[in-house]
Amino acid sequence: MQKISQFSFLVLWGRLALSKGFKVLMPKEQVIAILNQVVMLECNFTVTEEPPLKNIVINWQLANTNQVVHSYYYGRDQLKKQNPNYFGITSLFPEEFKRGNASLRLEGVKLKHSGKYQCYVSNASGSGEGIITVVLAAFYSEPRLIIKQKSSSTSLMFESSGYPKADISWYFGDNKDASVLSNTSYWQDADGLYTVQSTMEINKIENNSTYTFVLRNAVVNQTILRTFTLKAEEYGTSMSKSASTLLLITIAGSVLIIMALAILLYNKYIKAKSIEIIVPNLP
C-alpha cells in the first residue's frame, strides 16, 4: 500500500510540475494489431535540458477503465496492479527513455486487447499524456470449397475464418451483382474469431456460366477472389436413347491478398491451381 500511495503522489506531483516545453507525442492515433503477433504502441516525450530520467514515471493504462497495462517508476517496472489480461506480454524500453521513447510493446495480442490506451509520462521537466487506439484484426484463412450436387441444382459453398466480420459478395457474368441470390451466415468461436459460410445455389446451368465469389476484410485490405466457369455437357449411350447430363465445373481460382499493416505495409499475391471437377447430374 505504501508504494501505491507513493506512486499516486508522483503522478500528482508530475501533473502539478511546470511543463513548459514538455509534451507527450503520439505519432499515430490508431494502430492495426494482427492476431497473435507483436504490436508497438508508440509514445514519445520531449527531452529538454533537464535530465529525462530524473523521477521519471511512465504509466500505460486502458483509457476507458483506467486499468493498468504497464507501469514504470522508481527506476523499474511496477506490475503489481497490472490487469491480468496483460501478464507476460508487455514491455517498455528503459534504454530508450533518455531519447524520449516511452513506447509499449504488446506480444501475442488477442482480440481482448483491442481498445483505447493512454500513455502518461512524468519527469522533472513536466508531465503529459496521449491516447492511441488499437484495432485487432485476423487475416481470413484460405477458403474451403464445398460443392454439392442435387437433383435440380448445384450449390457452391465457401467457408473461411478471420476477424472482423468480412464483407461477402457474389457476381454473375460481367460483374452483375448476384449477392441477393446467395445465403451467407456468420458465427463467432470462443476466441471471438468469425467463421463465414456463403452458399450460391445454382438452379439452371447455362453453357459457360461464370460466377465470382469475393471476400473482403477492409481493416487489413485483404481481398480473396474466386471465379468459376460452369459448363453443361450432354452425352448419349448405346444402351438407351435417353441422354444423361454431366456437369463439368472448371474452377479457375485466383487469390489476391493485399496486406496493409499499421507499421509495415507489404503486398502478397497468391495464385491458386486450376481444378476440374466432374459432377454427375442426378436423375
Nearest C-alpha neighbor of 31 from the set 21, 23, 41? 41
Compute the average pLDDT of residues 211-234.
Answer: 87
pLDDT, mean of residues 176-205: 92
Counting residues of the chain whose pLDDT is more than 90, the rounded percentage is 57
Report the pLDDT value the prediction gives residue 129, as an integer from 0 to 100: 96
pLDDT at 254 over 90: no
What's the pLDDT at 20? Answer: 60
Asked if residues 72 and 57 have their Cβ atoms less than 8 Å apart, the reply is yes
Task: Tell me the fold of 2-137.
Answer: Immunoglobulin-like (2.60.40)
Residue 236 or 95, more confident? 95
C-beta separation of 146 from 140 below 8 A: no
Q: What is the mean pLDDT of residues 146-172?
A: 91
Give the chain's mean pLDDT.
Answer: 79
Q: Per-residue pLDDT for 234 more than 90?
A: no
Q: What is the pLDDT of residue 53?
A: 80
pTM: predicted TM-score of the whole model, two decimal places: 0.74
Instruction: Write down the pLDDT at residue 153.
Output: 81
pLDDT over 50 (residue 49): yes
Give me the pLDDT at residue 209, please: 80
Is-contact 163 207, C-beta < 8 A? no
Segment 23-41 shows an average pLDDT of: 96
Are 145 and 173 in contact by the 8 Å Cβ rule? The answer is no
DSSP 137-155: EBPPPPPEEEEEE-SS-EE
10-19, 52-61, 68-77, 92-101: range with lowest mean pLDDT = 10-19
- Please provide the CATH number assigned to the domain covering 144-280: 2.60.40.10
Question: Domain spans of the chain?
Answer: 2-137, 144-280
The C-alpha cell that represents 265 in the structure block: 505495409
pLDDT score at 206? 63
Mean pLDDT of 29-50: 93
- pLDDT tens by residue, 104-115: 999 999 999 999
